[in-house]
Amino acid sequence: MDEGVGRTALMVAAARAIEAGRPDALARDTYAEHFVRASSASADWPVHPDQVPGRDTDPLWGRLGRFFALRTRVFDDFLLDRAAAGTRQAVILGAGLDSRAYRLAWPPGCTVFEIDRAEVLAFKRTVLDRLGAVPSAERHPLAADLRHGWIERLIAAGFDPKRPTSWVAEGLIPYLPPAAERALIDTVVVNSAAGSALAYEVKHGAKPAAAADYPLHTVVRERIGVDLSALFDPEPRPDSAAGLTARGWATTTRTPFDFTRQYGRGPLPQTNDTLAANQWIFASAPSRG
């Protein structure tokens, strides 16, 4: 958990931990602090607003941290809204260190599948078991490579493609090569019954950049050793939202700033802003027959 995307998962966990200590928290993840403290890579990172010099004005744990909290809240609301409407099967693609299966108030009968790398899931299990955490939904963690071959393993773990599903890919797709993004979306479409929905994040509208091109990238690299520019795949991104629309899915594209205005807190646009390239896509499967 000390390198690459693993460290970004810890960064997001730290942001969630800090957010949980805010009086106006967008999302509360009481497990996030324990993930941060359990890794040698992040043991000295802040986990509470009082530990952040400058608090909300800090570019890393203030502005970027609030972005991660906002994203958490948006995808939380997506899953809970779908569950309230009757969807009882959720698949979290690239679950990272989020603990939605534990911290959300799932209605009875919900099943949550979490897919990620084996080492991420093992780290999460160790921390949660140490805390005696009990999931609020039936939880099925699944170690798999989301670039290929994962759907067969998901079905073997109990996933039913004939039932409506809520799919979430939070903070995953920008790291994938374009071909893998297309394959992932295609797999979701083929295995989605009527009533299914997908929420995911893409990064469009900005050229691949060196860390120096975005001040925020420089701050993250220098302070916690995460080179965001190197992690995002540099190839031109496919327009997967248009592809979903062409296949009959109802799609909506929103920006983080739309939700900042909706919730009344979160980041707003700045000059030379890497967050301006982020888009959140919400898509609903067509009825069949």
Establish if 50 belongs to a structural domain: no
Establish if 33 belongs to a structural domain: no
Domain count, the chain: 1
With contact defined as beta carbons under 8 Å apart, do 167 and 191 qualify?
no
Establish if 45 belongs to a structural domain: no
Single-letter code of the amino acid located at 230: A
Establish if 39 belongs to a structural domain: no
Establish if 156 belongs to a structural domain: yes
Query: Would you give the DSSP letter of residue 149?
Result: S
Place of tokens 């390198």: 3
Establish if 197 belongs to a structural domain: yes
Place of tokens 């980041």: 267
The token pair at 67 is: 């972005």
Query: Which CATH number does the domain housing residue 68 bear?
Result: 3.40.50.150
Per-residue pLDDT of the chain in tens (289 residues, 90 and over written 9) = 544 448 899 999 999 999 999 999 999 999 999 999 999 999 999 999 999 988 888 999 999 999 999 999 999 999 999 999 999 999 999 999 999 999 999 999 999 999 999 999 999 999 999 999 999 999 999 999 998 889 999 999 999 999 999 999 999 999 899 999 999 999 999 999 999 999 999 987 545 444 446 788 889 989 998 888 888 877 888 999 999 999 999 999 999 999 999 999 999 998 888 898 899 999 999 987 5
Q: Which domain holds residue 248?
A: 62-284
Report pTM. 0.94
* Angle, helices 4-20/215-224, rounded to nearest 10 degrees: 100
With contact defined as beta carbons under 8 Å apart, do 275 and 267 qualify?
yes
Establish if 41 belongs to a structural domain: no
